[in-house]
Amino acid sequence: MTSTALPTTDDLRAHARDALRNIGVDVVEGDGLHARTPLTGEHLFGLRSATDADTEQALAASRTAFLTWRTTPAPRRGELVRRLGELLREHKGDLADLVTIEAGKIRSEALGEIQEMIDICDFAVGLSRQLYGRTIASERPGHRLAETWHPLGAVGVISAFNFPAAVWSWNTAVALVCGDTVIWKPSELTPLISLACHHLLTRAADEVGAPRDVHRLLLGGRAVGETLVDDPRVALVSATGSTRMGREVGPRVAARFGRSLLELGGNNAAIVTPSADLDLAVPAIVFAAAGTAGQRCTTLRRLIVHRDIADTLIERLTTAYTKLPIGNPFDDTTLVGPLISTTALDAMRGALARVQAQGGKILAGGNRRLAEAAPAAAYTEPVLVRVDEQSDVVREETFAPILYVVTYDTLDEAIALHNDVPQGLSSSIFTRDQQEAEIFLSAAGSDCGIANVNIGTSGAEIGGAFGGEKDTGGGREAGSDAWKSYMRSATNTINYSGELNLAQGVSFL
Ligand code: NAD
């Protein structure tokens, strides 16, 4: 199915300009960066890319702001984030429009992304009164041991195109209440939503009397990111994107003993056992695999199905895949919007050609759509591929809606297949057998940072920590105690005994 006609690039340009104006941003055109839309694949605006001088100025201003911000009481810092959350609520529709125009998300997913930003603001405001340290029992009389948490400094946030705003907010809301400042280098593919977010945060800062420079935005490509990666004034580099990017960033930050928080690629799988409720599993699988046109880090890419139910499940998935409405993401009936670019489509086709050469069989989907209406855009049918084994192409992350289906006979075999990929982000099992579910969640089960039961791999909520193991980079963001990555701890020994007592019974003088 193809949903209604696509808007024209002129319509989208006017729409983006209106949304930005409603938020308070006037587009100032410049050189170096193209704002474009995957809906038509065409250029919207030229924007100015940050120069080395801009980056230097941002680093210096961020440092000055930090000197004030670090001693502002944390609950007062929370007021800035609370105001940001209010502004995000007020402008939710316009922000979601920008996400659709720049990242191609369907309307409900774009609104969901902004909701996630609101949720992390609420979470961070609560956190601003809960940055707890511990008191530790001292072995010495009249002594107290305490752990205190202090702000780190400037946090460099480097973000990917597919969650162009939410990933920024996960980092920024938490970093700000922790007393850090933020310098954001968004994806070069999504500058407009970045301008909008930066504007709202700056407005919130003005309204609550916080230093404006607690947040700086640097638009540009990878070179701008590299400057942040190498600069010792950036205490923490929080980088979200491909494993390729993380492999470059991680060692460079480590070489200067900086801290990094890496949120990289996934190759997520679900195991479907014979007892699974297929009425629940089928829509969960289709959303996880085809939603966001397969462009979530948590997208379901591998389905590991028990041999006894494989034919039934495949038949139901094939039927669901052939009915997916593909096209204009502003149309409420559309479920699959465009890929970000024709380059992504080429990568998808390359992976499909390789897997077919290795014996894989396409069961449904895989055709390009709307090529005549929008030759520069990349609309495609999500694709279901049956494979006999997890070959090299299956073990890679192809950032497109390809779901590989492989069968298993024993749960041990399924878990071994599940873990036999370099990445370790998200995972799930569909089962009504509690023992199987518990084994999957145990130390001998999924090796991922996210392990779910009877729900797909994508669509995490704020509250739990988000991140993954192995080639996914090991970072944790957003919930639980992920805030500790944005602070440094100090251990304090306080002697109120009036005597000098050395630890471990050491005597001296
Ligand atoms: P990408 O790696 O191409 O770019 C991500 C960001 O890194 C961009 O801002 C880019 O300019 C910057 N960058 C690239 N190379 C750099 C370098 N050497 N030094 C500094 N900065 C550099 O990723 P993308 O195509 O925008 O996003 C898709 C990828 O991101 C997928 O692999 C996806 O799984 C991953 N992702 C992961 C998470 C997560 O939380 N684990 C979330 C979203 C996306």
pLDDT at 177: 98
Architecture of the 268-468 domain: 3-Layer(aba) Sandwich (3.40)
pLDDT band for position 3 (cuts 50, 70, 90): low
Strand arrangement, sheet containing 135-136 = 135-136, 143-151, 487-495
Q: Measure the CA angle with vertex 367, ends 366 and 373; round to 5°.
A: 140
Closest ligand 1 atom to 265 CA: 34
User: Do 268-468 and 9-264+473-490 have the same topology in CATH?
Assistant: no
C-beta separation of 378 from 36 below 8 A: no
- pTM > 0.95: yes
Burial letters 329-353, b for 16+ CB under 10 A, else e: bbbeebbbbbbbbbebbebbeebbe
Mutating to test ligand 1, I would choose from 33, 217, 229, 245 the residue with most ligand atoms within 8 A of its C-beta, which is 245
Q: Could you give the ipTM of this predicted complex?
A: 0.99
pLDDT at 509: 83
Mutating to test ligand 1, I would choose from 162, 183, 237, 469 the residue with most ligand atoms within 8 A of its C-beta, which is 162
> Residue type for 271, please?
I
Structure tokens at 263: 């949120």
Domain coordinates in residue numbering, the chain: 9-264+473-490, 268-468
Class of domain 9-264+473-490: alpha beta
Render pLDDT for 405-457 as a digit per residue (tens, 0 to 9): 999 999 999 999 999 999 999 999 999 999 999 999 999 999 999 999 999 99
C-beta separation of 300 from 269 below 8 A: yes
For the chain, what's the residue count? 509
Render pLDDT for 213-223 as a digit per residue (tens, 0 to 9): 999 999 999 99
> Residue type for 29, please?
E
Q: Measure the CA angle with vertex 446, ends 441 and 447; round to 5°.
A: 125
Query: Distance, CA 264 to ligand 1 centroid (Å)?
Result: 7
Render pLDDT for 35-70 as a digit per residue (tens, 0 to 9): 999 999 999 999 999 999 999 999 999 999 999 999
pLDDT at 125: 98
Taking alpha carbons only, the member of 43, 292, 26 closest to residue 161 is 292
pLDDT at 4: 66
Q: Is 158 in the pocket of ligand 1 (CB under 6 A)?
A: yes
